[in-house]
């Protein structure tokens, strides 16, 4: 082959900048894929895509179509989605009846309900998947914009609604399509806003007695009782976590006391959640509580370590995937255990990959997948 052919074959294709992307992506200076009715960049970050507004302007029937879709989604939520949000029958009935009634009186709860229902329906209706995902993103964005200003003004009148909003936000962020770069607790080197939001709501709402008088107390009371046990019991010795703790304690020259404290606290909290996961006398609802209690109990210092891709912190997170894997019978968290393990494995060096052999085997993940 001649040199001219070689040069031609290696020549890079010219790149032409697009000036037709949505205004949101242009303002953020990121490449827009220009998909309709909402580009994937805006959909991924739950941002308002102006393509949605353009569709509304160019289609006069959109308002009526949107109303019909919202009615359909509320129906879907009550007969289908609600029963997937809790294994406890009483709590399921709460999601099916009381929470929709709350939504009719509180628009940010209603938006959260329709957003989650749209994600659920998109899983099974491939012909309308793009439309449903775009509608889910729009509803979620609307919910956030209405609820966020209230977070610093929690009262006896809105504490129950904000508590439900926080749970819906958790479900939404777990249920939305997983992207390759998603990292659950940390994304693109930062802790996601939704996690801080959840932790903040949980802290504020705990100080409100009014929530105990509402129907939401069925969730909160059982959660509170489970948390009291989670906090006060003496967890048994789990060999897998003991080995992890030995690795952490054996780190040579560990002089950062703040890091050591954060790692030990996260590992200790994990052992308490493992009690709910592996204990014989605990039910499915307790496993779910063990999952989200750990999210609330890990320290900000530990989250910072994860954001910095700290090797030991990533190993602790790898052991958390066993709890996620146990919950993957629920559609809203399916795929997260393997995805998270894949991301962790690629960030670890050879030595620390040996630390996580047990959770890798426990969730049935194949390391070769990380290199494909």
Structural domain total, the chain: 3
Query: Tens digit of pLDDT for each residue in 129-157?
Result: 999 999 999 999 999 999 989 988 888 89
Pairwise CA distance, residues 177 & 287, whole Å: 23
Task: Spell out the residues 6+ positions from residue 173 whose beta carbon is closer than 8 angstroms to its own.
Answer: 192, 194
Q: Are residues 264 and 155 in the same domain?
A: no
* Percent residues over pLDDT 90 in the chain: 47
- 192-206 b/e (C-beta count within 10 Å ≥ 16 → b): bebbebbbebbebbe
Give CA separation, 331 vs 122, 264, 306, in Å: 11, 32, 26
In a domain, 43, yes or no: yes
Same domain, 125 and 257: no
pLDDT at 187: 54
CATH code at 45? 4.10.240.10
Same domain? 130 vs 274? no
Shared domain check, 205 and 121 = yes
Examine the fold and report which residue of 167, 197, 224 is the final residue of a domain before the chain moves on: 224
Q: How many CB atoms sit inside 10 A of residue 14's CB?
A: 5
Same domain, 354 and 261: yes
333: which residues sit within 8 A by CB, 6+ positions away?
174, 175, 324, 327
In a domain, 89, yes or no: yes
Instruction: Give how far Cα 136 sits from Cα of 82, 151, 164, 195, 255, Å.
Output: 16, 22, 17, 19, 47
The answer as to whether 12 is a domain residue is no
130/269 same-domain check: no
Same-domain check for residues 46 and 69: no
Question: Does 253 score more than 60 pLDDT?
Answer: yes
DSSP 29: T
- The per-type count for the chain, helices as H runs and strands as E runs, is 20, 0
Which pLDDT tens digit goes with each residue over 104-122? 999 999 999 999 999 999 9
Instruction: Assess if residue 15 is contained within a domain.
Output: no
Residue 3 lies in a domain: no
CA distance 235 to 305: 25
Backbone angles phi, psi at 371, to 5 degrees: -105, 5
**Confidence band, pLDDT 50/70/90 cuts, at residue 214:** confident
217 and 72 in one domain? yes
Rounded-to-integer distance, Cα 33 and Cα 18, Å: 9
pLDDT in the model for residue 18: 46
Residue 2 lies in a domain: no
Is the pLDDT at 185 greater than 70? The verdict is no
Is residue 145 domain-shared with residue 276, that is, in the same domain? no
| Domain around 38 | 21-50
Task: Examine the pLDDT at 246 and tell me if it is beyond 80.
Answer: yes
Q: Is residue 115 part of a domain?
A: yes
202 and 294, same domain (yes or no) = no
Cα–Cα distance between 342 and 365 in angstroms, integer? 8
Please report the pLDDT score of residue 338 as a whole number: 93
In a domain, 80, yes or no: yes
Report the C-alpha gap between 343 and 326 in whole angstroms: 19
**Three-class SS state of 99:** helix
pLDDT at 213 over 60: yes
pLDDT tens, position by position, 335-350: 999 999 998 999 999 9
Same domain as 219, residue 73: yes
Same domain, 172 and 261: no
187: DSSP letter: B
For residue 206, report the phi and psi dihedrals to the nearest 5 degrees: -60, -25
């Amino acid at each position: 082959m001649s040199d001219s052919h070689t040069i031609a074959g290696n020549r890079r294709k010219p790149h032409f900048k697009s000036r037709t992307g949505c205004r949101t992506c242009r303002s953020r200076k990121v490449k827009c894929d220009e998909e309709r009715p909402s580009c994937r960049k805006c959909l991924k970050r739950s941002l308002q895509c102006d393509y949605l507004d353009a569709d509304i302007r160019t289609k006069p029937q959109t308002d009526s179509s949107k109303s019909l879709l919202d009615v359909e989604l509320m129906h879907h939520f009550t007969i289908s989605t609600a029963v997937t949000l809790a294994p406890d029958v009483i709590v399921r009935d709460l999601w099916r009846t009381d929470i929709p009634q709350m939504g009719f009186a509180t628009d940010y709860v209603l938006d959260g309900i329709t957003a989650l229902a749209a994600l659920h329906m998109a899983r099974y209706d491939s012909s309308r998947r793009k439309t449903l995902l775009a509608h889910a993103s729009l509803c979620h964005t609307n919910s956030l914009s209405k609820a966020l200003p209230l977070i610093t003004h929690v009262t006896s009148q809105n504490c129950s609604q904000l508590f439900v909003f926080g749970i819906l936000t958790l479900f939404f962020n777990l249920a939305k399509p997983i992207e390759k770069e998603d990292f659950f607790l940390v994304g693109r080197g930062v802790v996601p806003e939704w996690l801080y939001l959840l932790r903040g709501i949980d802290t504020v709402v705990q100080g409100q007695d009014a929530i105990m008088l509402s129907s939401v107390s069925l969730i909160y009371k059982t959660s509170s009782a489970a948390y009291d046990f989670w906090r006060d019991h003496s967890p048994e010795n789990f060999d897998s976590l003991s080995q992890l703790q030995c690795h952490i304690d054996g780190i040579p020259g560990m002089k950062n006391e703040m890091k050591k404290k954060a790692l030990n606290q996260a590992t200790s909290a994990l052992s308490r959640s493992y009690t709910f996961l592996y204990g014989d006398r605990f039910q499915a609802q307790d496993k779910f509580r063990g999952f989200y209690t750990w999210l609330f109990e890990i320290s900000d210092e530990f989250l910072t370590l994860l954001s910095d891709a700290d090797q030991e912190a990533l190993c602790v997170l790898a052991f958390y995937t066993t709890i996620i894997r146990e919950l993957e019978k629920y559609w809203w968290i399916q795929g997260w255990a393997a995805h998270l393990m894949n991301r962790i494995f690629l960030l670890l060096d050879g030595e620390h990959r040996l630390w996580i052999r047990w959770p890798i085997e426990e969730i049935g993940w194949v390391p070769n997948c990380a290199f494909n």
